[in-house]
Amino acid sequence: MLRITVLADERALARQEATRVADALKTKPDLVLGLPTGRTPVRLYHELGTLHSRGQVDFSRAMTFNLDEFFGIPPSHQGSYRTFMEQHLFSRVNMAPDRVHFLNGAAPDAEAECRRYEAAITAVGGIDLQLVGIGTNGHIGFNEPARELAGRTHRVTLKASTRRSNVALFGGELERVPIEALSMGMATILHARQVVLLATGKSKARCIERLVNGPLTPKLPASFLQLHRDVELVLDTAAAALLQDSQQLPAARS
Q: Does the footprint of ligand F6R cover residue 126 (CB under 6 A)? A: no
Active site residue 94: no
The per-residue b/e assignment along 178-215, b for 16 or more CB within 10 angstroms, e otherwise, is beebbbbbbebbbbbebbbbbbbeeebbebbbbbbeee
Q: Which of 34, 135, 138, 145 binds ligand F6R (CB under 6 A)?
A: 135
Q: Which uninterrupted H or E stretch holds 155? A: strand 154-157
Among 190, 102, 181, 198, smallest CA distance to 152 is for 190
Nearer to ligand F6R among residue 60 and residue 174 (C-beta): 174
Of these, 10, 25, 34, 36, which contacts ligand F6R (CB under 6 A)?
Answer: 36
The Cα–Cα gap between 50 and 29 comes to: 18
- Mark the segment that binds ligand F6R (CB under 6 A) among 31-39, 71-79, 111-119, 169-177: 31-39
Q: Which stretch binds ligand F6R (CB under 6 A): 16-24, 129-137, 188-196, 245-253?
A: 129-137
| Rounded CA Rg of the chain | 17
Phi, psi for 19 (deg, rounded to 5)? -65, -40
Whole-angstrom distance, CA of residue 110 vs CA of residue 56: 39
Three-state secondary-structure class, residue 68: strand
141 near ligand F6R (CB under 6 A): yes
Active site residue 113: no
In one-letter notation, the amino acid at residue 242 is L
Q: Confirm whether 128 is a catalytic residue.
A: no
**Does residue 39 bind ligand F6R (CB under 6 A)?**
yes
CB of 6 to ligand F6R, least distance (A): 18
Strand order in the sheet with 68-71: 68-71, 180-183, 154-157
The single residue among 38, 75, 126, 214 that binds ligand F6R, judged by CB under 6 A, is 38
Q: Does the active-site annotation cover 144?
A: yes
Q: Which stretch binds ligand F6R (CB under 6 A): 11-19, 89-97, 127-135, 234-242?
A: 127-135
Minimum distance from residue 166 beta carbon to ligand F6R (Å): 8
Residue 17 makes contact with ligand F6R by CB under 6 A? no
Determine which one of 17, 113, 144, 232 is catalytic. 144
**Sign of the C-alpha dihedral computed for residues 39, 33, 224 and 169 taken in this order:** positive
Active site residues: 68, 137, 139, 144
Name the residues that contact ligand F6R, by CB under 6 A: 36-40, 67-68, 133-135, 139-141
